[in-house]
Amino acid sequence: MKRFNLKTVLLVGAALALQVAAVWGAAPRTSGAGNALADLHTALGVTCASCHGTAKVAAVDDSERSINVTCVGCHGNLDAMAAQARAGSHVNPHKSHLGDINCTVCHMGHVQSKAYCTNCHAFAMKIPAGDPVPQKPAPKAAKKAAVKQRVERADVVVIGAGAAGMTAAITAHDAGARVILIEKQPITGGNSMLAAGGMNAAGTRFQKAKGIADSVELMYQDTMKGGGNIGDPALVRVLAKESAGSVDWLTSLGADISDVGRMGGASVNRTHRPKGGAAVGAHIAGVLKKNAVQRRIDIRLNSKVVKLIEDNKGRITGVQVEGKHSGLYTIKAKAVVLTAGGFSANADKVAFYRPEYKGMTTSNQPGATGDGMDLGAKAGGELKDMKEIQIHPTVAAGSRILITEAVRGNGAILVNHEGKRFVNELTTRDKASAAILAQTGKSAYLVFDEGIRKSLKQIDGYFHLELVKEGATIQELAAAINVPATVLEATVASYNAAFDGKSDPDFKRPDIPRPIRTARYYAIEVKPGVHYTMGGLKINADGQVLAASGTPMAGLFAAGEVTGGVHGNNRLGGNSISETITFGRIAGASAAKLVKGGAKK
Ligand code: MEZ
């Protein structure tokens, strides 16, 4: 097949835009906007068969892997595309934390793509063939249901391919089960992909190497206290006890989580992240995906589970799936694991449970809509703590970009529009968020210096996204963010004195690892945003979903944010990735045990 350079394709495509209307009648299924890849390619004389193959034109698998092979064949892979980035552009969308994703995630083939970057980033980004265009509504599932559905079989179906799902799938696979991992979004990773600060674990080899004295009991106590002592003690014990083993497990799969820092509410440094302080989520999601692919686990993207299937004894025996291209079908399974995440990106649901959060931004990916909880509840699972919704104190103002708590952990302070500190920056998220919402403009500035910047690699990303204001002196920084210079100078001087004296009399911050005295000086305006939903399906320590009666539901397991009970009324930073790995391993192992006949249910 002829190789096209993307730049050429797009330039020629633009020049031919007027001709597109003329060829429209001859074009295959298009978006109707003249700006889908189908339109651009057709205008260039590229036939349907060039992309879809001749055997069965338009036969595209739900994961769109086949079509992606063709895109890559002509244009090169993401690395090749990233290498061609336009000079002068600081944004290189082909090189991102989303990892190795299909071209059709952001560029629409025929129907509107998800255009992931523009879902979260505030900067204007013109994505070729990525315009949001009005679409004809997709055919209703009910119509397709009229035709006989195909039925497949698996030992274990895992619903949701974030960290918990990929972990459960890998664990069940390694225990001998035949696993299908279903994901409604066009990419794997879920919210875990966006996790920034790190993974909490107590008593790890990395803590020991740094001389950090921690214990399972201390992590348990911190987690219970941070969650208002309403967390399920049995689940919190498991989280703390298994955490070091989960770090070892991830490390054995190839992850680097050797750097250790501190998050709010922790008594010691126990938040593990890649060396140099890179974001934890994209790294871990990449490692898990690679391991799942190496094991040839059947991962199906663009596939939404619409129903859990029960037998006449109430056992969960499979799922009904709606594939983007394949329509409705059934997978019969001996065990189903729900790992579909929380509902922070479902504004209606958030407002239903907490009307006061109506209209608030979220740090979550768009798929975090709570479908997994709905599926489990509809099948008889008990929901708990649904009103416990976490507001993260530091989402960059005017965006959905989370500014990781690790910036504060590594030394940054929160300053109000009057130039003053107003809270212990390492307090728990509920308290820090409430303190920010009480300030002028319901926002604050996160202030740090070059030393703190150098201590945490992920800060570079905030510069890249143009979220940072700066100055060569504190005075210059004050001018850049429009706060009184003398007040800001006094605030920083007093914080540096607290660092020198190892005590923070004003706000009782428990740990000041660095002062703020190395030019340049930086500030990011931050506002609280919906970050995490602590509530969800009730589970036991084996990862079994519990019915209202308290008895385990036969064949149904769950792990991660879809569950409730681990975090009480406030999750500690770093406990989410920890939960996904530990409970993902437990749910995967329990499901495999059921398949092998070793479990009660
Ligand atoms: O666990 C989290 O939510 C987390 C570590 C977030 C962050 O601020 O980085």
Domains of the chain: 6-119 (1.10.1130.10), 152-198+281-388+535-595 (3.50.50.60), 390-530 (3.90.700.10)
**Percent of the chain residues past pLDDT 90, beyond the cut:** 71
pLDDT at 204: 98
Q: Which atom of ligand 1 is nearest to the CA of 403?
A: 8
pLDDT of 420 over the 60 cut = yes
pLDDT in tens, 541-562: 999 999 999 999 999 999 999 9
pLDDT at 80: 87
Ranking 96-100, 156-160, 306-310, 395-399 by mean pLDDT, the lowest is: 96-100
Look-up of token digits 């995440």: 341
pLDDT of 11 over the 70 cut = no
pLDDT of 189 over the 60 cut = yes
pLDDT at 12: 35
Residue 411's Cβ-side half-sphere holds a number of Cα atoms within 13 Å equal to 24
Tell me the torsion sign for CA atoms 223, 366, 388, 548. negative
569 within ligand 1 shell (Cβ under 6 A): no
- Residues 319-340: what's their mean pLDDT? 97
200 within ligand 1 shell (Cβ under 6 A): no
List 109's β-bridge partners, or say none. Answer: none
Ranking 105-119, 171-185, 579-593 by mean pLDDT, the lowest is: 105-119
Helices and strands (DSSP H and E) totals, the chain:
22, 19
Residue 464's pLDDT band, with cuts at 50, 70 and 90, is confident
pLDDT at 307: 97
- Residues 281-294: what's their mean pLDDT? 97
pLDDT at 98: 82
- Residues 328-340: what's their mean pLDDT? 98
pLDDT at 6: 39
Q: Name the closest-CA residue to atom 4, ligand 1.
A: 573
pLDDT in tens, 532-542: 999 999 999 99
Look-up of token digits 């994961």: 63
Cβ atoms of 568 and 230 within 8 Å: the answer is yes
- Residues 77-103: what's their mean pLDDT? 79
pLDDT at 23: 28
196 within ligand 1 shell (Cβ under 6 A): yes
Ranking 106-120, 214-228, 290-304, 509-523 by mean pLDDT, the lowest is: 106-120
Q: Which atom of ligand 1 is nearest to the CA of 196?
A: 9
pLDDT of 287 over the 90 cut = yes
Three-state DSSP state, 68: helix
pLDDT at 16: 31
How far away, in angstroms, is 55 Cα from ligand 1 center?
Answer: 48
576 within ligand 1 shell (Cβ under 6 A): yes
Residue 66's pLDDT band, with cuts at 50, 70 and 90, is confident
pLDDT at 601: 56
67 within ligand 1 shell (Cβ under 6 A): no
pLDDT in tens, 343-397: 999 999 999 999 999 999 999 999 999 999 999 999 999 999 999 999 999 999 9
- Residues 193-216: what's their mean pLDDT? 96
How far away, in angstroms, is 58 Cα from ligand 1 center?
Answer: 42
- In this structure, what are the phi and psi dihedrals at residue 125, rounded to the nearest 5 degrees? -140, 120
pLDDT at 296: 98
The per-residue pLDDT of the chain, averaged, comes to 89
pLDDT of 583 over the 50 cut = yes
pLDDT at 53: 74
Residue 147's pLDDT band, with cuts at 50, 70 and 90, is low
Cβ atoms of 410 and 277 within 8 Å: the answer is yes
574 within ligand 1 shell (Cβ under 6 A): yes
Residue from 260, 462, 576 whose mutation best tests the ligand 1 pocket (most atoms within 8 A of CB): 576
- In this structure, what are the phi and psi dihedrals at residue 453, rounded to the nearest 5 degrees? -55, -45
Is the whole model's pTM more than 0.95, yes or no?
no
How far away, in angstroms, is 278 Cα from ligand 1 center?
Answer: 13
pLDDT at 83: 83
Rounded Cα gap, residues 542 and 318, in angstroms: 20
Residue 488 CB contacts under 8 Å (≥ 6 apart), including other chains: 415, 419, 447, 474, 477, 478
pLDDT in tens, 17-38: 323 222 223 334 444 556 778 8
Element (H, E) at 157: strand 150-159
